Structure 1
Amino acid sequence: LLVPPYYYRDRDDGLVSFFELISKSVDIDMVLYNVPGLTKVNLTGALLSKILDRAENIVAIKDATKDLTQLADTIRTIGKRVPVIAGAEEISYFGLLAGSPGATSAMANFAPNLVVDMYRAIKKNDIPTASSIFFEKILLFRHLDVAAVLQGFPIQIVYVKEVMNLLGMHGGSVRPPLTQLTHEKKEELKRVLEVIGKSGTLGPLSMKQRVSREK
């Protein structure tokens, strides 16, 4: 998983050369991670197309721009060359509808059945079910401490670990500079979990659940 250089930045030609150099230096497949919220470098569909022309062992793109217009354009531009994965939970639903073959999910750590059910509903063209899961459950969790999220802080990592700990799944604690949740934030999280968990959606998938979802 490879991100663009985020300290010294140059024009597009420099980025293309950067990825070409890495591609020629290793003999393993690579997934390019476009996460401008953290790197401050945005890889558009047009730029990614140039990179793919010069870096043959890039096999997929994880796109976490959270810009639905750009995500759709990236899928349109290079989606037939490599898979473009929706790389942020809040765009997963839209990415799958737009043609992404998959999406990454933080919630899958503690509510995998929610994510799987949304994915399968979309594949079956059951949009009402997928929409209900996404807007009523998944986004509810993602909007916790939205002010911190908008400032670019990876606060969701803290929430995911706390949920796992509450469920006895040993999520552990975050490392500095990230900080633990305050008592008030933990209580807010518990209220959200009560809503999400009403349909028995929390916790790891049992083998029986996995088999039933594969049918």
Structure 2
Amino acid sequence: MFEGTGVALVTPFTKDNTVDYSALGRIIDAVTEGGVDFLVALGTTAETPTLTKAEKKEVLLYILDHNAGKLPMVVGIGDYNTQGLLDTLAEYPMDRVAGILSVAPYYNKPSQEGLYQHFKTLAQATDKPIILYNVPGRTVTNILPDTVLRLAKDFKNIVAIKEASGNMAQCMELVARAPERFTVLSGDDNLILAQAAIGMKGVISVAANCYAASFCAMVKHALRNEMNEARRLHYELLDRINLLFAEGNPTGVKYALHLQGLCENELRLPLVPASEGLQQQFRNA
């Protein structure tokens, strides 16, 4: 279910800084037509830390209704407070989602045992499939392969990891040692070609918001080991993918979507829109 290209959906805002549901619907339609394999709501790219509790639930319900079961739907549920994780789990319509993406606890800097106990608590509180999310560039804490594999072995509903450490040696260790039922996904759009070559099974992508057709085609070719065509598409996309992250995420992807007429170029503080220099680079690209 969670292989190929998942898209970490943005949350569009209007000029008065409220959630723009019309734009969100347009983006869902565009990525669906572009060939993504599953949707991810309320991830980092959705500016989730800036949404109120009520907005998070409203956004999730809107995506579920608009998607209407066409694609598997994953919801981001992460917290640096394990009890907060459980509280959110009780508030969301979990019967309607296909799985959970749960980021490593941030700010607190837990030990590997603390990480294990945190995700153990989540796994025991739900029967939904869980995708671990390792992104030490944001959380500071790195979920090491031994901890990931211990969790995968002990809990059947921990089924995958979104690995965004950028450490290829760590990625290879996960692929080499993971049980057959466990999926290693990329969290780095610019690395998925190389990561598919070492055996990773897909990506949860930012670029698929705005470059869905070509990005999904590149991933499909890579996973089929059709590397000549995958490499051609990778290098066609690479400069534009790098621009998406030049001033942070989702600053770049919001501007790319704005250029395509899909949403306003609006973010919530502390994030700000792309600089004029970055905007010019996007227009050139």
Q: Shorter chain as normaliser: what TM range? A: 0.7 to 0.9
Q: CA deviation at 1:138?
A: 2.4
Q: CA deviation at 1:146?
A: 6.5
Q: CA deviation at 1:79?
A: 5.2
Structure 1 stretch displaced more, 100-109 or 48-57: 48-57
CA RMSD of aligned residues (A): 2.0
- The residue aligned with 1:185 is 278
Pick from 227, 240, 251: which aligns with 1:141?
Answer: 240
Tell me which amino acid in the other structure corresponds to 1:162: Y
- The residue aligned with 2:225 is 125
Pick from 103, 111, 127: which aligns with 1:27?
Answer: 127
Whole-Å Cα distance in 2 between the matches of residues 128 and 79 of structure 1? Answer: 29
- The residue aligned with 1:43 is 143
Q: CA deviation at 1:110?
A: 1.7
User: Of the two, which has the highest radius of gyration?
Assistant: 1
Q: Does the CA contact (< 8 Å) of 1:90 and 1:139 recur in 2?
A: yes
- Alignment of 1:93 onto 2:193: yes
For residues 145-164 of structure 1, what are the structure 2 equivalents within 5 Å?
148=247, 155-164=248-257
Q: CA deviation at 1:123?
A: 3.8
Considering fraction of residues, name the structure with more helix.
1
Q: Does the CA contact (< 8 Å) of 1:96 and 1:103 recur in 2?
A: no
Q: CA deviation at 1:145?
A: 7.8
- The residue aligned with 2:6 is none
For residues 60-79 of structure 1, what are the structure 2 equivalents within 5 Å?
60-78=160-178
3-state SS in 1 of match to 2:205: coil
3-state SS in 2 of match to 1:84: strand
3-state SS in 2 of match to 1:60: strand
Residue deviations 1:63-94 (CA, integer Å, cap 9, x gap): 11111111111111115231111111011111
Q: Does the CA contact (< 8 Å) of 1:35 and 1:64 recur in 2?
A: yes
Unaligned runs of 5+ in 2: 1-100
- The residue aligned with 1:209 is none
Unaligned runs of 5+ in 1: 149-154, 193-215
Q: How high is the TM-score relative to the length of structure 2?
A: 0.60
Aligned residues: 185
> Which fold has the larger relative contact order, with Cα–Cα distance below 8 Å and residues 6 or more apart in sequence?
2
| Closer/same/farther in 2, CA of residues 118 and 185 from structure 1, 3 Å limit | same
Q: How high is the TM-score relative to the length of structure 1?
A: 0.78
3-state SS in 1 of match to 2:128: coil
